[in-house]
Amino acid sequence: MSAPDVVCGIVTGELVTHEVYRDQELIAFLDHRPLFKGHVLVCPAAHVETLAQLPTGLVAPLFTLVQRISTAVVEGLGAEGSFTAINTVVSQSVPHLHVHVVPRSKGDGLRGFFWPRVRYAEGEAAEYASRLRAALGAPELG
C-alpha cells in the first residue's frame, strides 16, 4: 500500500496497527516509528489531508481526543507531560491529517523544536501580526 493510503488502510482494516482508540469519526494508534514509546497518532477516520481541510464539526471531537490522549500518556505511561504537533504539507510524510501526541519526561533528549529559531527585525513582528490579522479578517488593533 502506498504512503498516501496508510491511514485509510488502517481505518479500513487493510493494515494492522496498535489501536489506542476508535469510533465512527476518529482513530488513534501507535506510531510505527515513535519518537518515544507511546507516541500516538490521532486522525479523522474520513480522508482529510490537512488541518485546513478538516470539517468544522470534527475540530472539537479531534482535539478533545488529542486532549484525552495527552492526559492518558501521563496517567497510563508515567510521562511527565507530552508534545503535541501537526505537520501540514511540509514534513507531512502521510497526506492524511494526523496529530502527534508524544510522551515527554525531563531529560528525555528531545530538545525543543527541530529547526533553527529566528528573530524578528525591529518592527517586523508587528507587520507579521498585521498580515495575519488581515488574512483572518480580524480588525486592526490600536
Q: Which residues of 58-67 are buried (b: 16+ CB within 10 A; e: fewer)?
A: beeebeebbe
Range of weakest confidence among 45-49, 50-54, 95-99, 131-135: 131-135
Cell 528531545 maps to which residue?
110
As given in the structure block, the three cell numbers for residue 96 are 492524511
For the chain, domains (ranges, CATH) are: 3-116 (3.30.428.10)
With 0-12 CB in 10 A as exposed, 13-18 as middle and 19+ as buried, what is 6? buried
97-137 residue pLDDT tens:
999 999 898 888 887 666 556 687 898 777 776 776 777 67
Query: What does pTM read for this prediction?
Result: 0.82
Annotated active-site residue in 18, 32, 47, 98: 98
pLDDT at 107: 87
Report the relative pairing of strands 19-22 and 99-104 from DSSP bridges. Answer: unpaired
Strands laid side by side in the 81-85 sheet: 19-22, 26-30, 40-44, 99-104, 81-85
Whether residue 46 has pLDDT greater than 90:
yes
pLDDT at 2: 41
Range of weakest confidence among 29-38, 53-62, 125-134: 125-134
pLDDT at 1: 41
Please state the rounded mean pLDDT for residues 73-95: 84
Cell 529547526 maps to which residue?
115
**What is the amino acid identity at position 70?**
S
Q: Would residue 39 show up in a list of annotated catalytic residues for this protein?
A: no
Whether residue 21 has pLDDT greater than 60:
yes
Q: CA-CA distances (angstroms) from residue 42 to 3, 29, 65, 98?
A: 17, 7, 8, 5
